[in-house]
């Protein structure tokens, strides 16, 4: 009989697929508590990194709906923002426009109070614009 290495390997893989997967799982389960107590300087340990990645992937898997909803929400928000910005870009800032906030500096930027109203922009100076956005966050 000719020994077909390829075939044999495939057979071996198929036979042990579940077994290997199970033993991996058992290994993680067994060491879960141990890892929990690891001092923080061991966080760079690749074993733990792999474990964490697997866990976060699992969370995503288990919370697929939640994750998708989160992404959708983010996308919708960003889309609104991009849209508002592209409209605002077409609104010219009048020459010698003074910042609507400090009423001192020259207004060089446009600020949206509400991205639902893309045409409603306030002309503000750079400094005020920065503070405006800091407040939001």
Pairing between strand 121-124 and 109-112?
antiparallel
**Site map (CB under 5 A) of Zn ion, residues 42-81, x = contact:** ----------------------------------------
109 SS3 class: strand
CB of 100 to Zn ion, least distance (A): 8
**Beta-ladder partners of 98:** 106
69 and 86 Cβ atoms separated by less than 8 Å: no
User: 58 or 83: whose CB is closer to Zn ion?
Assistant: 83
Size of the site for Zn ion (CB under 5 A): 7
Considering only 57, 70, 71, 102, the residue that binds Zn ion (CB under 5 A) is: 102
User: 99 or 118: whose CB is closer to Zn ion?
Assistant: 99
104 and 124 Cβ atoms separated by less than 8 Å: no
Site for Zn ion contains 125 (CB under 5 A): yes
Site for Zn ion contains 101 (CB under 5 A): yes
Considering only 28, 80, 105, 120, the residue that binds Zn ion (CB under 5 A) is: 105
Tokens representing 73 are 């929400």
Report the distance separating Cα 34 and Cα 29, nearest Å. Answer: 10
Q: Quote the DSSP letter at residue 104.
A: S
Question: Which residues are near Zn ion by CB under 5 A?
Answer: 99, 101-102, 105, 111, 125, 128
């Amino acid at each position: 009989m000719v020994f077909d290495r390829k075939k044999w390997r495939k057979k071996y893989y198929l036979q042990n697929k579940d077994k290997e997967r199970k033993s991996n799982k058992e290994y993680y389960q067994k060491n879960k508590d141990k890892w929990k107590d690891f001092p923080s300087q061991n966080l760079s340990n690749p074993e733990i990194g792999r474990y964490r990645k697997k866990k976060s992937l699992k969370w995503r898997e288990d919370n697929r709906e939640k994750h998708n909803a989160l992404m959708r929400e983010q996308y919708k928000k960003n889309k609104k923002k991009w849209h508002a910005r592209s409209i605002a870009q077409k609104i010219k800032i009048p020459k010698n426009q003074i910042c609507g906030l400090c009423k001192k500096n020259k207004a060089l930027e446009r600020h949206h109070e509400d991205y639902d109203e893309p045409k409603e922009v306030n002309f503000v100076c750079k400094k005020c614009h920065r503070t405006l956005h800091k407040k939001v966050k």
